[in-house]
C-alpha cells in the first residue's frame, strides 16, 4: 500500500522578519532554547534556510529579537523614540498604578515564557545598549519621573524597581520550572507544604524567624506577594520624596 509524507503547508504571504520572530517565540515556548534551531524554523515556516538568514544573521540575533518582541508586547509599547520621563504614557491613572502595570506585565510575560528570564538577565548584562534594556528602563522611568523623583535620582530609583521586578519574576519562573520537572502529579500546594513542614522542624534557637513564617510560606500567593514587593519599593521611593 502506498504511503505519502505530509508536506509543510505552503506560505500564502512572503516571509518577514516579524513572522520569523513569531515562530521563534513559539519554538522557545514549546522546546526551550535548545529547540530553537534554524532547521526547526525552516520546517515550521516551510521555507529554506537562505530565506531566514536574509532576515536574521544568527541564533543570537534571533534570541534577542524574540526577547524584545515578548517584552514589547508585555509593556504594550511600540518601538518608538522615548518620550520625556515626566510625561508617562501607556497606563491610565497614577504613576504608582503605571509602575504596577509595567511590573505585572513583565511578571506575567516571564511566567508565560519560561525561557524569558534567562534571556533578560543575559541581555541586560551583555547587551545593555540593545533594545530590551532601554525599553524596560523607559517604561519604569517615565513613571518614576512622574512621581516627582528628582532627576539626579531617576537612575537609582528606576534601577531598584528593575532589579526587584526581574529578580522576583525570574525566581518565580525558576520555581515553576522546578515544579514542572517533578511531574504533573505534584502540585504547588504539595511542594509548599513539604517546605513549610521542613521549616517548621528547624531548630527553634537557630531559626526562630524561619519557623515563625513557615505557615505564611505555605499559604502565600506568588502574584500577590510580587505586587506587595512592588508596593514596598514604591513606599521607599515616595518616603524619600517626603
Q: Is residue 171 part of a domain?
A: yes
Q: How far apart are CA 129 and CA 74, in angstroms?
A: 20
pTM of the model: 0.83
CB-neighbour burial class of residue 132 (10 A; exposed 0-12, middle 13-18, buried 19+): buried
Render pLDDT for 126-150 as a digit per residue (tens, 0 to 9).
888 889 999 999 999 999 999 999 9
CB-neighbour burial class of residue 139 (10 A; exposed 0-12, middle 13-18, buried 19+): buried
The answer to whether the beta carbons of residues 162 and 136 sit under 8 Å apart is yes
Q: How far apart are CA 165 and CA 163, in angstroms?
A: 6
Q: Is residue 99 part of a domain?
A: yes
Q: Give residue 89's domain range.
A: 83-241
Render pLDDT for 117-128 as a digit per residue (tens, 0 to 9).
999 998 888 888
Q: Give the Å distances, CA to CA, from 44 to 19, 33, 39, 114, 215.
A: 11, 16, 9, 21, 47
Render pLDDT for 184-225 as a digit per residue (tens, 0 to 9).
777 888 889 999 999 999 999 999 999 999 999 988 899 999
Query: Coil, strand or helix: which one is 8?
Result: coil
Q: Is residue 6 part of a domain?
A: no
CATH of the domain at 183: 1.10.357.10
Q: Give the Å distances, CA to CA, from 45 to 22, 67, 86, 121.
A: 10, 19, 43, 29
- Domain total of the chain: 1
Amino acid at each position: 500500500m502506498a504511503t505519502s509524507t505530509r508536506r509543510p503547508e505552503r506560505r500564502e504571504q512572503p516571509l518577514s522578519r516579524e513572522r520569523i520572530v513569531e515562530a521563534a517565540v513559539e519554538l522557545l515556548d514549546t522546546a526551550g532554547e535548545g529547540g530553537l534551531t534554524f532547521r526547526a524554523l525552516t520546517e515550521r515556516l516551510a521555507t529554506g534556510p537562505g530565506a531566514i538568514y536574509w532576515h536574521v544573521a544568527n541564533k543570537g540575533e534571533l534570541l534577542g529579537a524574540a526577547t524584545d518582541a515578548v517584552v514589547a508586547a508585555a509593556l504594550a509599547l511600540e518601538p518608538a523614540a522615548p518620550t520625556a520621563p515626566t510625561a508617562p504614557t501607556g497606563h491610565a491613572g497614577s504613576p504608582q498604578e503605571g509602575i504596577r502595570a509595567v511590573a505585572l506585565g513583565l511578571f506575567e510575560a516571564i511566567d508565560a515564557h519560561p525561557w524569558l528570564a534567562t534571556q533578560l538577565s543575559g541581555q541586560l548584562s551583555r547587551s545593555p545598549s540593545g533594545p530590551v534594556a532601554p525599553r524596560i528602563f523607559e517604561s519604569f522611568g517615565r513613571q518614576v519621573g512622574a512621581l516627582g523623583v528628582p532627576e539626579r535620582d531617576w537612575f537609582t530609583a528606576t534601577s531598584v524597581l528593575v532589579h526587584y521586578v526581574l529578580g522576583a519574576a525570574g525566581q518565580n519562573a525558576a520555581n515553576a520550572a522546578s515544579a514542572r520537572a517533578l511531574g504533573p502529579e505534584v502540585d504547588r500546594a504539595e511542594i509548599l507544604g513539604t517546605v513549610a513542614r521542613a521549616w517548621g522542624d528547624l531548630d527553634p534557637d537557630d531559626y526562630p524567624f524561619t519557623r515563625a513564617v513557615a505557615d505564611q510560606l505555605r499559604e502565600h500567593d506568588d502574584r500577590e506577594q510580587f505586587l506587595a514587593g512592588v508596593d514596598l519599593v514604591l513606599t521607599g521611593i515616595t518616603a524619600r520624596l517626603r
